[in-house]
Amino acid sequence: MVTTTATPLEEELLRLAGAVPDPELPVVSLAELGVLRGIRVTGPGRVQVELTPTWTGCPALDTMAADITEVLTAHGMSEVSVRTVLSPAWSTDAISAEGRRKLAEHGVAPPRRLPAAGEPGPVAVDLAVRCPHCGSTDTVLLSRFSSTACKALRRCESCREPFDHFKEV
């Protein structure tokens, strides 16, 4: 949803919905994760919210919608409609700098920035992922999937600590 001029009410609702913690990674908000696409007031007490999941099969989407509905209803909206938007697709580049900082601070290696369209990118033979505990890049992949499909499980060979790595998409 592209809103050229958000009203003060829409800006406030966007701030409130954006502050909702991600159900699978509660250290980051939906705005920091970049899944909250927009909000539009459609009438008195009515609002439409657009969310883009990190992947199309994301099991947390219903929880995100329920949490947003609860927050906006508490703020006086009587009808909250949450739409799933798949295009343009979400990518890890949507995670804010603050979101990346919070992930690392809480032991989850944030994804690396992907090259912009037309930029040459490195071809990774083996991904060098920095350990969020000690900073070493001497890490190994233990499992392509961790507690959620968007994360991989790695271990640092320097400090021997396991950690989640938010995969680049």
Supply the pTM of this predicted model. Answer: 0.79
pLDDT on residue 122: 52
3-state secondary structure the chain: CCCCCCCHHHHHHHHHHHCCECCCCCCCEHHHHCCEEEEEEEECCEEEEEECCCCCCCCCHHHHHHHHHHHHHHCCCCEEEEEECCCCCCCHHHCCHHHHHHHHHCCEECCCCCCCCCCCCCCCCCCCCCCCCCCCCCEEEEECCCCCCCEEEEEECCCCCEEEEECCC
What Å distances lie between residue 55 and 90, 131, 161, CA to CA?
A: 7, 25, 28
Q: What is the β-pairing status of strands 79-84 and 108-109?
A: unpaired
Q: Could you list the pLDDT tens digit for every one of the 169 residues in the chain?
A: 544 588 999 999 999 999 999 999 999 999 999 999 999 999 999 999 999 998 877 889 999 999 999 999 999 999 999 999 999 999 899 999 999 999 999 999 988 776 666 665 555 545 688 899 999 999 999 998 887 778 889 999 999 999 999 888 7
pLDDT tens digit sequence for 50-95: 999 988 778 899 999 999 999 999 999 999 999 999 999 998 999 9
Q: Does domain 8-84 have CATH number 3.40.50.1100?
A: no
* Domain limits, the chain: 8-84, 126-169
| CA–CA gap between residue 161 and residue 155 (Å, rounded) | 6
pLDDT on residue 148: 79
Answer yes or no: are the C-beta atoms of 48 and 1 closer than 8 Å: yes
